[in-house]
Homo-oligomer: A and B are copies of this chain.
């Protein structure tokens, strides 16, 4: 396991040159190359168990809630009556876990290209992979951009929980993929996609907002705090065929509220307020 230096894992990427977050590792739990990517799981000193794909942090137990809850509940609570949800990517199961908290939801499909990510998460990250055990969940192992070609006007909410646009997730950042998702939505449907950082990836963010703007009558870009992501935050790009995306149309009930670590109706609205420089991203 030569990836650690003096017991520390360091995340570097051409997407954030000259910048590295390092975490002290207590134990390497898994390290193997799948058909698509390198998968590593570490027990960190400060952030619990951590999943890493191709050297990039995907989730840690410490701060995954800011990502999984916001990416899931913003579109699902913005929708008036979500029944069918599709998750593309999301092999760790965290988005499934959150979607399953909604009693109106009857079917949850997940389309993950890399079966090994699912199996590794089930073994080492049960607090996220518990999402797979919900009886409403059906697993499809294939490329998400191919999967949606066979679904027309079917889903109420599609959530894209992808890695960065380098490697297997590259097609998930393209206009044609967004068109496919739009076709796969029922009237009033919504999409929500992992949409990088307004500090580091202005060009990617602008391009995603522009795609959403072209295809959807209602769209928006929200920011959520995830300390282990580059710069400690990440964006969510939303497109809607119906309701406003910035305002929840329903509220979590008391039972659900107690389970939420990050999401609230108030932070749903606040997440769409960007720093002043963010207005340039919409031009």
Contacts and interface: CB of A to CB of B under 8 A. Distances in A.
A262 B275 contact: yes
B276 A260 contact: yes
A276 to B, nearest CB: 5
Interface residues of A, number: 44
Contacts of A45: 17-18
Contacts of A20: 8, 21-23
A264 interface: yes
Interface string A56-85: 000000110110000000000000000000
Contact of A19 (B23, B231, B275): B23
A24 interface: yes
* Chain multiplicity (copies): 2
Interface of A: 8, 10, 16-24, 44-47, 62-63, 65-66, 199-200, 223, 225, 227, 229-233, 257, 260-264, 266-267, 269-270, 273-277
Given A18-B24, A233-B225, A267 B273 contact: yes
A196 B52 CA distance: 28
Contacts of A231: 63, 225, 227, 232
Given A19-B24, A23-B18, A275 B46 contact: no
A65 B276 CA distance: 10
A89 B44 CA distance: 35
Contacts of A17: 24, 45-46
